[in-house]
Structure 1
Amino acid sequence: MRYNPVTPQIVEQLMSIVGEANVVLEPEKMEVYGRDETSEAMWQHMPEVVVKPENARQISEIIKLANREIIPVTPRGAGTGLAAGAVPMLGGILLSLERMNKILEVDRENLFMVTEPGVTTGEVQRTARAEGFLYAGDPCSAESSFIGGNVATNAGGNKAVKYGVTGRHIYGLEVVLPNGEIVTLGGKCVKDVTGYDLVHLIVGSEGTLGVVTKVYLKLMPLLPFVADLLVPFDSVEKAIKIVPTIMTHGGIIPTCLEFMDSMSIKAAELYLNQKLPYSDAAAYVIVEIDGNTERQVEEDYETIGKLCLENGGLEVFVADNPSAQDRIWKARKCYAEALRMISPVYCMEDIVVPVSQIPRALEAINGIAEKHRVKIPCVAHAGDGNIHATLLREDRDEHTWHEVKDRVLDEIYREVYALGGALSGEHGIGAKRKGAMARFLHPAQIDMIKSIKKALDPNLILNPDKLVDVL
């Protein structure tokens, strides 16, 4: 597909839509929009212009203009992605949603929050909590990621074990389609089978099928009692094997069930500049329990703690107040930042397998790391089978790094698919995993994705060069 450049005349039209102050052309100001949290230079590319609309109408006009002129448009939230999904790989217009940052409504009667896409996930959580509700979406990047980006990638996060990923909490969307039409899909009805499920076609589509401008989020009653457990283990095998044991024992559903290996623990300790308990352990398992009564929560964490100790846990640390809980979670949530201190360039993967296959998946990853003499620290949303395995470049030269990385990733992906898994649990495909998806997904599925893309976006202007090559 051949796209046209952004000319001075196009810039003038963009300024007439959003105002001169909301069009960015200076290279030094655009630089931040040419990358996300993916550390490799190959996944960085500058836009030709950055535009900051404030409503759906302005986005509609921008999309219509881009369609007429055949110019690529890349929607972008906070830029916290890890798959180059919001990087303008083909240049063109970068559509930043940062000004659309309002919470529009908290509907206490129907338990819904309506928000624009540029609100941080953390603000959504705090607003819900202040009203006595829970918004259960909880990616580790909650304080920086936008809710629109969570929708685009169907983000998972820590609480997905019990409450599900982002899409489970989305009942309606306002979307600007690739032809510029503004449409509302779904809304506040909790049941709706009127036609295809178009809401969840958009959720997880990574900005390739429409630009989300309004989100209807389902809220839940806030359970009053929460406790967190930190359990160190002297071997990775013991730590990861406890996961299916916990998940299948006695009907207890943890809110969170996380895993960290030794390299990740050490990196967090270095980053936080503080001593962690049992920091010489081979692995941590972190478990969160919530409930309606203090007694129920105590019984549940005592049961899980006993299971852990019976299966090789060295000790069980219990945190039942916000300060202690925050100390437990800091180490897990700083994972990406901590690894940068060890290796500024790395490749974070987002593989997912059935929960019962997590022990075999981690065993395979460790074997591949030893075979190729690379370091691959791992953390996992273990309760839902989502493993973040991160290849560290360390002191390898560029050529050697890419050779080793390509071999290692191919072997990891093959093992994952042999275990019934998939490439991505929550970070998305973006530009980074597009080639791998073409290799590992069934051709019929690829054709379905291409057909949907071409039907909704015949000029292929919206976030092109992501997910699949349509032409």
Structure 2
Amino acid sequence: MATKFNPVTPELVDELRKVVGDKYVKTDDDYLTAYQTDEEGNSYYFHKPEVVVFPGTTEEVAEIVKLANKYLVPLTPRSAGSGVACGAIPVYHGIVVELERMNKILKFDADNMYAVCQTGVLTGQLQEEARKHNLLYAGDPSSAESCQIGGNVANNAGGNKAVKYGTTRHQVYSLKVVTPTGDIVTLGARLQKCSTGLCLEQLLAGSEGTLGIITEVTVRLRPLPPYNFNMVCVFKTDEEAFALPNKILKAGIDPTSIEFMDNEALKITCKFLDMPMPHVDEGCDYVIVTVETFNEDELDRKMETLCDLAEANGSIDEFEADKRIWKLRKQFAEAARNLDKMFQTEDFVVPLDKIADITKQIPELRERYDLYCVTVAHIGDGNIHVLPLNVKKLSPEEWFEKIKAFHRDLFPRVYALGGKMSGEHGIGYKKLEEFAKCTPEGELKMIKAIKKALDPNNIMNPGKIVDMD
């Protein structure tokens, strides 16, 4: 594997311009600075590319990849740059391949419930188009209005509807991909079942741009349930709140989502939005449950059952949520960023019955590492977001070291409970070291062998997930 790369030369820049046109090759410092990070706010991680290229077709992407191999220059695929694991940061500089121009829904087939999208289509745009036809695109990350379909697939984005519909990979029929050597391949097919060869489209989903560049995605659409409710259950303690998801699922309520916000998260978001909400000043937590059905009587029965379960579990109040609740949940990250642009977004995941076991250890970790943390979670699928905030204004280097120490203590506890360090954000560059330490040697060997076989020159988003050195 190549461990040293060549710099971008004027000759390479000229060849890139021949592929995409002068207008779509950027080397001026303003552009390069804008692409030195994604949503990461800690400058410790920033790396500036040497050139940013904006292809408009799959064929142009393939030519760019071939040039990267020819000149032995690393490239970093980038969609909207909304990730928080440093996955779109060009660790080894080189070329950033910005895919925002490839932003068309190429086909929308309402009768057969599928769509073909270029990689740069906004997730929210696809959701809106589906709703016009009484259909649902079930991928629903909190950043849906700004993130893009290709990036969602590359990171296997989760989101609020994963309890019922799964993560982004469960919405994928097939992918058009440019391989690390510049071939154009279509992986998967619009089938309900398939046992023909390897499931390569699922290998690419979640590979974080290390095994190829996704240029088109064929997604499955679903009927949009006409009846729904969003219920807020209010709890005085985290333990009571965390015991609810398993009981909801065992009762056959089949929720679309079960979200949690602790009191600190509620307070900072209510303040950020200047939007008072019930029981927040009393120190309570929220569990937000969404249920969708095709039958109104069924919806009423499920709502009644949910209220009974919540009350039996210690809920002091239940109220039907209006649009403010989802605004509160989806704006939480912006509220955290408003307090600290270097905030750390953990997204570890554990089995549902282990949520309380891991979260009750957080106060100890907060005290040990002198951290102020707030917590939100997709507790219907065990995905916990603990966010340490740098409220003491440590330097980028000091904050980096503190978080690394926190991770060295946190992640072994997560794995001891049968969990993993990332439920939806990925490993990227940010958790490279931790992933290597927590992953069994045999699994790491398999990942590296796949990477080496598909990307012999290691030019495709190097320095992410595993260190090939």
Please indicate the TM-score interval, normalised by the length of the shorter structure: over 0.9
Q: Distance in 2 between matches of 1:301 and 1:370?
A: 39
1:468 equivalent in structure 2: 466
8 Å CA contact retained: 1:264, 1:335 = yes
- Find the residue that maps to 1:98 and give its secondary structure: coil
* Residue 188 of structure 2: aligned partner: 186
- 2:111 and 2:320 map into 1 onto residues whose CA distance is 36
Task: Measure how far apart 1:432 and its partner are.
Answer: 0.3
- Percent identity, aligned pairs only, is 44
CA distance in structure 2 between the aligned counterparts of 1:2 and 1:19, rounded to whole angstroms: 29
CA–CA separation in structure 1 for the residues paired with 2:99 and 2:400: 33
Q: How far has the Cα of 1:454 moved from its partner?
A: 0.4
Q: Post-superposition shift, 1:150?
A: 0.5
CA distance in 1, matches of 2:394, 2:127: 43
**Aligned-partner Cα distance in 2 for 1:57–1:166:** 25
Equivalent residue for 1:112? Answer: 114
User: Is 1:277 aligned to residue 278 of structure 2?
Assistant: yes
1:423 aligns with 421
Select the residue among 175, 189, 201 that pairs with 1:199: 201
| 1:396, distance to aligned residue in structure 2 (A) | 4.2
Q: Which residue of 1 aligns with 2:352?
A: 355
Pick the aligned partner of 1:449 from 424, 447, 456: 447
Please list the CA deviations of residues 360-390 of structure 1 after superposition, one character each: whole Å capped at 9, or x if unmatched.
Answer: 1111122211333311111100000000111
| Equivalent pair of 1:110/1:188 in contact (CA under 8 Å) | no
Secondary structure of 1:189's aligned partner: coil
> Contact 1:345–1:394 at 8 Å: present in 2 too?
no
Partner residue, 1:255: 256
Look up the match of 1:289.
291
Give 1:397 shift: 2.6
Tell me the equivalent position of 2:431.
433
Pairing of 1:100-139 with structure 2 (within 5 A) = 100-139=102-141
What does residue 4 of structure 1 align with? 6
1:59 and 2:56 are equivalent in the alignment: no
Cα distance, 1:14 vs structure 2:
0.6
2:316 counterpart (314, 317, 328): 314
**TM-score (normalizing by structure 2):** 0.97
Please give the root-mean-square deviation of Cα atoms over the aligned residues, in Å. Answer: 1.2
CA distance in 1, matches of 2:22, 2:316: 61
- 1:270 corresponds to which letter in structure 2? K
Residue type of the partner of 2:24? N
CA distance in structure 2 between the partners assigned to 1:462 and 1:72 by the alignment: 6
Give secondary structure in 1 for the equivalent of 2:280: coil
- Residue 387 of structure 2 corresponds to 390
**Counterparts of residues 145-164 of structure 1 (less than 5 Å):** 145-164=147-166
SS of residue paired to 2:380:
helix
Separation in structure 1 between the aligned mates of residue 175 and residue 399 of structure 2, nearest angstrom = 42
Name the amino acid aligned to 1:103.
I
**Which residue of 75, 79, 86 corresponds with 1:73?**
75
Alignment partners' CA distance in 1, 2:153 and 2:363: 32
User: Take 1:190 and 1:17, find their aligned partners in 2: how far apart are those partners?
Assistant: 38
CA distance in 2, matches of 1:459, 1:164: 34
* Cα deviation digits, residues 258-278 of structure 1 (max 9, x gap): 011111101111111111221
Which 10-residue stretch deviates more, 229-238 or 162-171?
Answer: 229-238
Is this contact kept in 2: 1:162–1:253, CA < 8 A? yes
2:31 is the alignment partner of 1:34 = no
Aligned equivalents of 2:174, 2:244: Cα separation in 1: 38
- State how many pairs are aligned: 465
Unaligned runs of 5+ in 2: none
What CA distance in whole angstroms lies between the structure 2 residues aligned with 1:227 and 1:259? 16
Q: Which residue of 2 aligns with 1:231?
A: 233
Alignment partner, residue 140 of structure 1: 142
Q: Note the alpha carbon deviations across 1:2-24, whole angstroms, 9 max, x for none.
A: 10111111111111100111111
Of 301-310 and 177-186, the range deviating more from structure 2: 301-310
Indicate the residue corresponding to 2:373 in structure 1.
Answer: 376
Q: Does 1:84 align with 2:81?
A: no
Q: Provide the rounded CA distance (Å) in 1 between the counterparts of 2:195 and 2:240.
A: 44
Match of 1:264 in 2: 265
In structure 2, what is the Cα distance between the partners aligned to 1:380 and 1:207?
A: 26
Matched to 2:459, the amino acid is I
2-side partners of 1:301 and 1:42: how far apart? Answer: 48
Q: Does the aligned pair in 2 maintain the 1:234–1:283 contact within 8 Å? A: yes
Question: What is the alpha-carbon distance in structure 1 between the residues aligned to residue 263 and residue 176 of structure 2?
Answer: 44
Where do residues 43-54 of structure 1 align in structure 2 (5 Å cutoff)? Answer: 43-54=45-56
Measure, in 2, the Cα distance between the counterparts of 1:405 and 1:99.
36
- Superposed CA deviations along residues 191-224 of structure 1, whole A, max 9, x for unmatched, are 2221000010100000000100110100111110
Task: Note the C-alpha offset of 1:400.
Answer: 4.3
**How far is 1:53 from its partner?**
0.3
What is residue 329 of structure 1 aligned with on the other side?
A: 326
Q: Which amino acid aligns with 2:65?
A: I
| Structure 1 unmatched runs, 5+ | none
Q: Secondary structure at the match of 2:127?
A: helix
3-state SS of paired residue (2:465): coil
